[in-house]
Every structure is written in C-alpha cells, then in structure tokens.
Amino acid sequence: MGYIKEAKGVDWVVDPKPLTNKDRQIISEAIHYYKSTGRKLKPSHKRTDSSDKKAR
C-alpha cells in the first residue's frame, strides 16, 4: 500500500464547528429527555445545513 497524495487545491483539515448556546440547549434537552424516558427526542426544527441545499 502506498501513500495517497493530496490533490492540489484541496484542504483535508477538518475543524469542529463551534456550538451556539441554542445548539447546546437543544442537545441538553435531548439528553435529559432520553435519560428520563429512554426514548429519543424528535427534532422540532428543520436542519438548515449546507448539505440540504441541492446543487443543480
């Protein structure tokens, strides 16, 4: 097995995205709900991630 060369113009470094206070609150509520009921909390908001956008 050889080395994989990094393509020109491609950045392979991935940094974690910092959480907002709202995101932290939603995660805390989901964890609390799971611990108290044993069931997963359904998301009440639609994700607005860039992966949702269709590039056509």
Instruction: State residue 7's pLDDT score.
Output: 79
| Measured CA distances, 41 to 2, 25, 52, 54 (Å) | 45, 13, 21, 27
Tens digit of each residue's pLDDT (9 = 90 or more) over 2-51: 887 777 888 777 778 888 999 999 999 999 999 999 888 887 766 665 55
Instruction: State residue 9's pLDDT score.
Output: 83
Task: For residue 55, name the pLDDT band (cuts at 50, 70, 90).
Answer: low
Q: Are 20 and 27 in contact (CB under 8 A)?
A: no
Instruction: State residue 56's pLDDT score.
Output: 47
